[in-house]
Amino acid sequence: MKKAGSSKPGNEELFKWDGKPTFGQALPLALQHVLAAAVGCVTPAILVANAANNAAGGGTVDMGLLIQMSLVFAGLSTFLQLYGNKFRLGSGLPVIIGVSFAYVPTMTAIATQAKDVDTIFGAMIIGGIIAIIVGLSITQIRKVFPPLVIGTVIFAIGLSLYKTAINYMAGNSANTYAVVVEQRGQTEALVYGSWQNWLVALVTLGIVVALNHYGKGILKLASILIGLVCGYVLALFFGMVDFSALSTAGWFQIPKPFAFGIRFDISAMIPLGILFLVNSIQAVGDFSATTSGGMDRLPTDRELNGGIIGYGIGNIVSACFGCPPTATYSQNVGIVGSTKVVSRKVFTMSAVILTVAGLIPKFSALLRTIPQCVLGGAVASVFASIAMTGIKLLVSEGLSPRNTTVVGLSIAIGMGVSLSPGCLNQMTASIHQALHLEIVLEELQEIVNNTFASSPVVLATIFAVLLNLVLPKDKPETN
């Protein structure tokens, strides 16, 4: 039976893993995957760099280099997944790897506290090791992270990102724009929360939402990118765009190891380590969705093991070059399910485009000119969809009294502690005194706050796992 979209002679090669479609057939589909991944690839780098540089006594993180590494290692990590399966270092499945939004709340909290990103990369190495262990023992570990727990964690991640979206839509509280007021011929500051910021952000968001619901084909798939471009053009009219970084950027740059440094800090390793554990389990869902949607089968144990091990190794290597944590991209999984295109040649071309784009500093400098309010409007729907993905998982498990207790308490404690600065200080002081710890109290409090209170994700995960283990299981209904 001929597959949908295969009316053109030779199109059948697109639907085979080892198919050999022509360059003309493969390129548009490869670009489609790049468009779907591009904004998600670079936005976390911008958010994390801003968090470090805008902190009190801010750091000097090179945002352009961070964006470059995000693109380069998105491409290289995708290559590893496509071709590393022969050595169990990849899944051998049609997936795209990119920098994950799931880590953004925790990374921004770490970057704000440290005023740098070196502790993030140190924690990534530990997280990569955790992922490798998960890959080697996925069957046993999955039992502790059923869909109920995974859904709770994803829901917590989505909720924690809302503050970032609104802050950026309003223009970022740590940022102002110098704009020329044409009518009066003078320069004034465009401050946080100004009507111009909100107008540009809402127009950007409106275009993204409209294309998502009314657009078809490439208009729907590239809705975020199109909304971002339209918002960028509108921002030009308000004088929000600063091209100074573009003029000084070079044309080609090879990645340099340890350009941002690496530092191991327990307060960064624990929260990111937990997220690596959760995302390793979540990757099983993405691999399964890819094979069921594009290949009409479930992934084999070898594909799952290799995919998660490759995920861990990819993050260890990319940490040494300054790329934030990566993961499988669900939006690209969705494209596979809708088009049924699984040819490795298509995904190889996507990986090449991402890698080459990352080697061109001019390109990353252009991305740095995107105003904060445009970025906020473009990603608000992404953050909302993350939370809703968690809710869908929870609903699929059923909202029984037991399940609502697991979810409700985990989210309440995770969000409540993160919204109550200093609430753990006195307890930490009591533990410090009772155990006669040698570490300075202020340092211990900083570690505890950075680990458990900087983001709701860690505590929500811990409580979801514990409650799911200790609460009695629902009894099956009897007729």
pTM for the whole structure = 0.74
294-331: pLDDT as tens digits: 787 878 888 889 999 999 999 999 999 999 999 887 76
Three-state SS annotation for 167-225: HHHCCCCCCCEEEEECCCCEEEEECCCCHHHHHHHHHHHHHHHHHHHHCCCHHHHCHHH
One domain for residues 201 and 261: yes
| pLDDT tens-digit series, residues 172-220 | 665 554 444 444 444 445 677 788 889 989 999 999 889 888 887 667 7
Domain boundary among 364, 390, 416: 390
Q: Based on the domain organization, do 455 and 372 belong to the same domain?
A: no
Domain ends where: 356, 390, 424?
A: 390
**Does residue 245 share a domain with residue 126?**
yes
Q: What is the pLDDT of residues 14-41, one digit of tens each?
A: 788 888 888 887 887 787 788 767 777 8
Question: What span, in angstroms and rounded, lies between the C-alpha atoms of 309 and 311?
Answer: 5
Domain count, the chain: 2
Q: Do the domain assignments include residue 479?
A: no
The predicted pLDDT at position 4 comes to: 45
Q: Same domain for 258 and 313? A: yes
Give the tokens for residue 166.
């609104």
Domain that holds residue 448: 400-470
Question: In one letter, which amino acid is 157?
Answer: I
The residues facing 178 across adjacent strands are 189
Same-domain status, 335 and 433: no
Same domain, 307 and 267: yes
**Confidence check: pLDDT of 478 > 60:** no
Domain check: are 212 and 192 in the same one? yes
Whether 285 maps to a domain, the answer reads: yes
